[in-house]
Structure 1
Amino acid sequence: MNGGVQPASKQSMRRHNLALVLRQVAAGQSASRATVAAQVGLTKATVSSLVEELRLAGLVVEHVPENQGRVGRPGGALALNPRGAAGVGVEVNVDYTAVCVADLTGAPRVRLTERVRNRGRSAEETLYAAGRLAARACAAARRAGLAPVQVNLGVPGLVRDDEVLHAPNLDWHRVPAAMLLKRGLGRQPLEVSVDNEANLAAIGEFQARPAGAGDSFLYVSGGIGIGAGLMVDGTLFRGGGFAGEIGHVTVRPDGGECGCGARGCLERYAGQDALLLAAGIDPAQPADPDLPPVGAEARGRRGEGQFGLATATSEGPVDQLAALAAAGDEAATDALTVAGRALGVVLSSAVNLLDPPEVVIGGIYARLAPWLLPILQEQLNSRVTSGRWRPDRLQVSGLGAEAAVRGAAGAGVQTILRDPSAYIDLTSPAG
């Protein structure tokens, strides 16, 4: 008797080995078939067969040197195919909707952004419009030779099983977000999943990190809401499913009422609307009119098939706040001081509880870093109990407000890398 343990089927072994080889190609530097075989512990013949399947499916390419002068199969360099499968990220936030399509290497190839007030619109209208924007991005991607497969939607709220349970800044409750987005996508055969936007921003930050950077950090995303994602050894920590709601940590128990129903939340002091109002800036003002029109596709460098559009990093009011602070405006600098102290108190508590190797600030905080960093550093220095806090442990995201949509697209890519057999079976003629 084997105690109920069943041997792996031929199909499950194929699935495991395809993923093993593809991940090794993704991690390698111009590895050959023989090198991959040695690294994954499979025979050269097995790896050669798996590579051929991945190549025919358009997931990998093999660069064979000309005039190699060798007998037998040449030792070509394997790489992910930048003109094959692609992930699609969609971010719906309070004042914009953004879409990004990333190729299998993780490089963004299409970006579309619609500056629109989603707060006050119905979830049905907002998500249908987001689906239509994503459909346009997918069409542009296909023209660039890509094959969009997986759509990941990021929203500023609590998400479970692709349903938005509560998104206070959008006034959404029990919204079947995946289903509503699919309506906008039309008949495109794309899988849709939904996640919290701060979770996806943390994933985006991790994927964009340079080689050698740490893979454990606390990412804090500033916007109208404030979210956080904790990466531990390259994996997002989700807790029971709702980890990272740092914007609703209480700063002042007797403070003003928050949209979540509690009082004195961090968002009341360090959220985008709170910052702008304290500085005397209307949060509802339009973005910079000198920005390129939304939806006007501008082809990137020749031959790359990229499209660059006005992106979510173009926060007119936040740019105005930064300009006023740079000019020494007292209301602007006071607003940033209050926000920085409140954020610093919460970050210090998070560091004392979790002891992350790094804290990364993103979203609008990246734009406002010149004023926030000294205040945050002061709070961390005085409040972190270990006494080991160093300035280099506080970092600024290079992705800014694009982190969530980039992370959403990258998450779609990771779905393909984790299980290429599902993609192959879906796109094969028999599938």
Structure 2
Amino acid sequence: MIGTILGDGGSYREVQPYVHMRPYSRGGQDVRQMVPISLRIGPSRVPGMGQYGRCLLWNARAQDKDLSIGHHVTTSGQLPLTATPPPRVSRRRKVLIVVTLVLLLPPAALFAVLMQRQHVYDTNLRRVQQVFPEEWDRPAKAIGTAQNWLVVGADKRPGESGFQRSDSLMIAHIPADRKRIFLIGIPRDSYVTIPGHGRDKINAAYAYGGPRLLIQTVEKLAKVRIDHFAALDFDGFVEMSKALGGVDVYVARQVHDPANKITWPQGNVHLEGERALLFVRQRYGLPGGDFDRIKRQQAFLRAVAQKVVSKGMLTNPFALDKFLQALTRSLSVDSGVDMKTLRSLAVELRDIRGDDLRSATYPVAGTDTVKGVSIVRLDAKEGAKLTDALRADTLERYFADRGGLNESSFVR
């Protein structure tokens, strides 16, 4: 038997070679070929060796030496070696390892991707600091877990230069049971008291003092505490509709928009890109003016919700990512909102569908003019009943008893 030990010095007692035997036939004789093996050297004094060495054995004929367990082979007759078989991993254990990897790696990879995407969405969001009035000047916090969001649509994000007014304004009420979302549209021309500025159209509050003054004005009007603020610039309507591949809204009768020279035919209208923006912003040529525009915006949001929760969107991560990118890039929120907040809310609202969005308009007494300017006068008595239900989280019962929901399955 021939062997070679390689090392760099030390003391050793025992050698445990791992021998791999490959039987084959040559010239009518059975031959066991020895492939290179690694040795672990114990304390036995062998000059010139390291703590770990390697023994190379090859072309050992069967009759040369019996290499079964317990027999000894030597390298040049100096070092006793004990031939031991390599540790064997059972088939069952191998299968278990493979199955474990198969089960754990995809979820781990998915989790890593989700965390990375959440970071991207969170970075896209723009947070507006100090949007809420002083605590002493605000309505009390509601009991329970219901939430009220003030949602604003505008040409610019809060803080951007230039004169801006809120073009659309809604209170989104999320009940404690998370079974519905109520959108209460407030006409932009509503004639209200703006703290520090007297009586004016409510959308002027956004121009005078940004989100903070607008929230203060709405809280004074409705006597309802606003929990969160979200502003969507109108470029967001364009990008979101593109990401979704457009949405469909039913138009009850043909309507012409004289300002943008576009006619909306009766029937289903496909809204995508700039057409979506023109549709939600049209005011002139509508039978109900700004009231019909509120209904159009609510119908568009309902169609978006239906598309987002559809099976085709939820099972297409690329399309969903494109939509969330468009949404978060055009969204400004109060400093208390991040993607963790939105993700938790989305989980709570996971059973919501388009039909679960209930839309209404703040009660109106009529229209008027003040100093030659058209205004909307709100119905204080009926408005108080609505806001009482809003505070008590009983809007479902309020609308069941009194009606007043907008029909958002079709618009004019």
Q: TM-score, normalised by structure 2?
A: 0.23
Larger Rg over CA atoms: 2
Q: Which has the higher contact order (CA 8 A, sep 6+)?
A: 1
Richer in strand (by share): 2
Richer in helix (by share): 1
